[in-house]
Amino acid sequence: MPGFELFGDKERKEVNDVLDSGVLMRYGFDGMRKRHWKAKSLEDALVQRMQVSHAHLTSSGTSALTVALAGAGVGAGDEVIMPTFTFVASFESILMLGAVPILVDIDDTLTLDPNAVEKAITERTKVIMPVHMCGSMADLGALQSICKKYGLLLLEDACQAIGGSYQGKPLGSIGDLGCFSFDYVKTITCGEGGAVITNNKNYYENAHKYSDHGHDHLGNDRGAEAHPFLGYNFRISELNAAVGLAQIARLDEFIGIQKRNYNILRETLSQIPEITFRRVPEGGEENHSFLNFFLPTEKLARRAHRSLGENGVDGCFYWYDNNWHYYRKWEHLTEAKSLGKLPKEVLDSLQDFSKVDFSASDHWMGRTISCLIKLGWTATEVEQRAQKMAEAIKSAL
């Protein structure tokens, strides 16, 4: 991670196809395309790779989440349960629809704690949205059981975990809907882009229409298409899709490199008694884009993270203090800061963040360090890095 580290002739070939045709838009201009349909081809590839019936590309992972929620009928006042540790896009996508993000604690998977999820369910809850952060997954079996018990939808945010699996199924394909991000720093990239996958034909039909101004995409005359409902513009371009089409063909290659590099680092760090690793649910396989580990205390985690930086080890993150990924720095959400007036349904239903207790999340995040796994490292470079990391952490303990 990320896929841009290994850009090459395959990506250039797909992009040049688009430039040669001159058609950068995914819809229309059939006669000019020279039979190049990069977005459609990438969607077909996703269907095959993710073992689902339908895939639809969008302009970003954020828009994919919004489109997925809208496609499932989520709207004003509906509550969506999400974790305290994620990217800000998770609650942005919910708020865009006038729905209400309900934050709940994580556990040692660094994802949704099923017990906390069940306690947060109300009569307004419509969706449980686990976020498979840093390459690994939530306890999907437990969350599926909760969804079945209460009649809720399961939406997997797999934006950081493409290529991982659970019980032999690709992450993103297990819930009612799944979403991916293909932004510039993801395992496979389009530069900017995202995707919704599902086995539900109705959700898919809603998704492709909603993301293109409500166009029904029937017939061969775009100007004559009907609009069965309101929509917006969340389209991907052919140029972005072209890059992704080359990259998805390389996904197994990338995952294999990540796994090799991950295992070298983990084997070395596992020799430090004070280090333990995040729990991967039984039957789960990470995509190995991050190595995530715990120190015994917050104080030691801070010291170890500082030592890594001082010793020239880049790409290691202490999420507890991070502005984008952990609730403690989300003042724009917790203080409901908005350019325009937020819907009454949102203002009336947002949690009182001055009173809510997320100490269970703090227990895990305060002790967590995450290290990015790069694709461009040679085996020798990873081994050298592993020794450097071990020495830096030991010096802080």
For residue 177, the domain's CATH number is: 3.40.640.10
Of 192, 226, 251, the residue that ends a domain is 251
Of 251, 266, 283, the residue that ends a domain is 251
Residues 230 and 303 in one domain: no
Q: How many domains does the chain have?
A: 2
Residues 126 and 275 in one domain: no
Q: Encode burial over 26-45: b for 16+ CB neighbours within 10 A, e otherwise.
A: bbeeeeebeebbbbebbbeb
- Give the pLDDT confidence score for residue 1 in this predicted structure: 82
- Give the pLDDT confidence score for residue 124 in this predicted structure: 98
Contact 84, 103 (CB under 8 A): yes
Residues 270 and 232 in one domain: no
Catalytic residue among 186, 355, 374, 388: 186
Cα(252)–Cα(193) distance, rounded to whole angstroms?
A: 20
Reading phi first (left if > 0) and then psi (alpha if -120 to 50, else beta), residue 110 is in left
CATH number of the domain encompassing residue 330: 3.90.1150.10
Which backbone phi and psi does 332 adopt, to 5 degrees? -65, -30
- Tokens at residue 176, please? 């009612």
Contact 65, 82 (CB under 8 A): no
Cα(27)–Cα(48) distance, rounded to whole angstroms?
A: 22
Which backbone phi and psi does 385 adopt, to 5 degrees? -65, -45
pTM of the predicted protein model: 0.97
Ranges under pLDDT 50 in the chain: none
Give how far Cα 2 sits from Cα of 7, 100, 155, 191, 228, Å: 10, 32, 24, 11, 39
Give how far Cα 60 sits from Cα of 57, 237, 348, 353, Å: 8, 11, 29, 29
Residues 291 and 314 in one domain: yes
Q: Is 186 assigned a catalytic role? A: yes
Of 205, 235, 251, the residue that ends a domain is 251
Residues 257 and 209 in one domain: no
Per-residue pLDDT tens for 248-296? Answer: 999 999 999 999 999 999 999 999 999 999 999 999 999 999 999 999 9
Residues 214 and 261 in one domain: no
- Give the pLDDT confidence score for residue 53 in this predicted structure: 98
Residues 164 and 226 in one domain: yes
The residue segments making up the domain with residue 81 are 3-251
Residues 144 and 160 in one domain: yes
Residues 200 and 284 in one domain: no
Residues 236 and 262 in one domain: no
Give one DSSP letter per residue of 125-143, joined into a string.
Answer: EEEE--B-GGG----HHHH
- Give the pLDDT confidence score for residue 120 in this predicted structure: 98
Residues 244 and 267 in one domain: no
Residues 265 and 343 in one domain: yes
3-state secondary structure of 198: strand
